Amino acid sequence: MRPRRGTDRIRVRPDRGVDLPSVGPTRTCVGCRNRAPAASLLRFVAAGSGGNLRLLPDPGRRLPGRGAHLHPDPACLAQAERRRAFGRALRLTGVADTGLLAEHLRTVFVPCGLTDDEASGASSRPSKVGRLR
């Protein structure tokens, strides 16, 4: 009997394009459903019981209980609310209040391409009025 071809070789998976800085735990955002390194996502947990459920941000990743992750972007929060993803991700039976989580995202989020000065409303461009030629 002839041996099957390739059985004596060690099969190596081709490189899948692993990005070395992002190696580590990956989590899925409940809003956009994209996977990202856990360090770039905001963890949150549900606190309370019955009709008094609140979503608490957990930036230190230390609060007890089942957690879920979200990009620190208000668009992902809005998408998760629209899809009613919080109840499924946290295995909740009621509707949770997202007020504290939304407030935390508003204070943390800085739009891409803007510096701290531009995000606060100051403009780095001089106006055209009053320029001498």
Report the chain's terminal Cα–Cα distance, integer Å: 93
pLDDT score of 83 more than 80 = yes
pLDDT score of 14 more than 70 = no
Average of per-residue pLDDT across 49-71: 93
pTM, two decimals, is 0.67
Average of per-residue pLDDT across 7-25: 58
Query: What is the pLDDT confidence band of residue 110, given thresholds at 50, 70 and 90?
Result: confident
Task: Quote the CA–CA distance of 68 and 57 in Å, as a whole number.
Answer: 10
Pairing of strands 26-28, 67-70: unpaired
Q: Which amino acid is at 73?
A: D
Least confident piece of the model among 23-37, 56-70, 104-118: 104-118
* Per-residue model confidence (pLDDT) at position 133: 47
Handedness of CA 70, 22, 18, 74 (dihedral sign): positive
Query: What is the pLDDT confidence band of residue 128, given thresholds at 50, 70 and 90?
Result: low
Average of per-residue pLDDT across 98-116: 82
Q: Which residue has the higher pLDDT, 94 or 106?
A: 106
* Per-residue model confidence (pLDDT) at position 10: 52
* Per-residue model confidence (pLDDT) at position 21: 58
* Per-residue model confidence (pLDDT) at position 111: 74
